[in-house]
Structure 1
Amino acid sequence: MAKTSPAEFINQVRAEARKIVWPTGRETLQTTIMVLIMTTILALFFLGVDTVFNAIVSWLTSLAR
């Protein structure tokens, strides 16, 4: 593997940084809203699953008494 000088490395980093395409404000807002919606849906789903498992475990432990 060829070694690069620090100056060449900096130039390569700058060249790669110029290729970055930043999202617009609207795209960022849309993505944020979608993440919040999906997080809420998943939280409700796992709340339901946890409630069902809690009921099953409570029922099983009541049988052991």
Structure 2
Amino acid sequence: MAKTNPVEFFQQVRAETRKVTWPTRRETLITTAMVFVMVVVASLFFLVADQVLSFAVAQLLHIGR
């Protein structure tokens, strides 16, 4: 592996950082909102799935009585 001196390394890092396309404020806000929406949707899904499975297990346990 070739050794790179620190000055050359930081020059390469700066060059790569200039190539980055940073999101606009609007894109960031929309993406953040979508993440929150998906968190709520996933939470509701798992809440319903948990309730259904809990009910099913409770019914199965009552059968044995």
Q: Residue in 2 aligned with 1:55? A: 55
Deviation at 1:63, TM superposition (A): 2.2
Q: Residue in 2 aligned with 1:11? A: 11
TM-score in terms of structure 1 length: 0.87
Structure 1 spans left out of the alignment, 5+ residues: none
- Provide the C-alpha distance between the structure 2 equivalents of 1:41 and 1:5, rounded to a whole number of angstroms: 50
**Structure 1 segments (4+ residues) deviating >4 Å:** none
Output the aligned Cα RMSD: 1.2
Deviation at 1:11, TM superposition (A): 0.8
Aligned partner letter, 2:10: I
Q: Residue in 1 aligned with 2:35? A: 35
- Provide the C-alpha distance between the structure 1 equivalents of 2:26 and 2:15, rounded to a whole number of angstroms: 27
- Provide the C-alpha distance between the structure 2 equivalents of 1:46 and 1:55, rounded to a whole number of angstroms: 14
TM-score in terms of structure 2 length: 0.87
